[in-house]
Amino acid sequence: MLQRIFLTLFVFAASVGGGAASVWYILGTQEGIGALTIGGWTAFPKIGTPGADPYSKARIAREGVLSLGRAEGLTFIAERDSDGRPLRRDCSYSVKGSTPPARFWTLFAADKSLVVLDDGGARFPATHSQEILRRADNSFIIAFGPHPVAGNWIPIKGTGPMTFLLTLYDTPIETNTGIDGIELPQVTRTVCDG
């Protein structure tokens, strides 16, 4: 009798614990349910809308962010470079490509909890579509890293993981049907300190 009670309690604890662990994993990853991926960038187009799936709603509640509405814009997150390596603050990166389809866009570096990196300097590690230098074909190269380079350079200091957030405002990309032929900038690691 006592053995049956312990077995029942064990199965109950394993079920609840396993369920909670799987939800924690899904909410912590930038892939999976409701995700839209273009190249190395991932977004959740339905987040913050009435049609959002339960995981997207839980992601908003857990992170406490105010998401953009469907007509306002879409935020893409890159956690890895083009070779699949996690982004690190002590490395330099080149974000290269053509202008995303949007009226205005911003690009900034953040920590793993999606808070803008701030080293106490005068400038946040961010840029936007109206301040960058472009090449003749309207494409751009933006360097992120601890060492200055000519052109578009955004300083990054410190160590540890980071992410890039690309927010497209007033964009036609809303669902999987709107991504045909769309390319977002490529993130390439150039050099690492240490």
For residue range 7-60, list pLDDT tens digits in order. 787 787 778 877 766 666 655 555 556 677 788 888 877 766 666 667 666 666
139 and 158 part of one domain: yes
The reported pTM is 0.76
Q: Is the pLDDT of residue 121 over 70?
A: no
Same domain (yes/no): 95, 38: yes
Task: Answer yes or no: do 181 and 138 share one domain.
Answer: yes
For residues 42 and 12, state if they share a domain: no
Backbone φ and ψ for 37, nearest 5 degrees, come out as -115, 130
- 84-94 confidence digits (pLDDT tens): 999 999 999 99
Q: Do 53 and 92 fall within a single domain?
A: yes
DSSP state of 59: H
State the alpha helices, DSSP H only, in the chain.
2-28, 54-63
Count of domains for the chain: 2
Q: Could you list the residue range(s) of the whole structural domain that residue 1 is in?
A: 1-30
Assess whether 19 and 46 both reside in one domain. no
> Do 127 and 191 contact (CB within 8 A), yes or no?
no
Residues 42 and 132 in one domain: yes
Residues with Cβ within 8 Å of 20's Cβ and at least 6 positions away in sequence, in order, are none
DSSP category for residue 151: S
Residues 23 and 89 in one domain: no
First to last CA, the chain: 61
151 and 188 fall within a common domain: yes
Structure tokens at 150: 């000519």
CA–CA dist 153, 146 (Å, integer): 10
d(CA 78, CA 41): 5
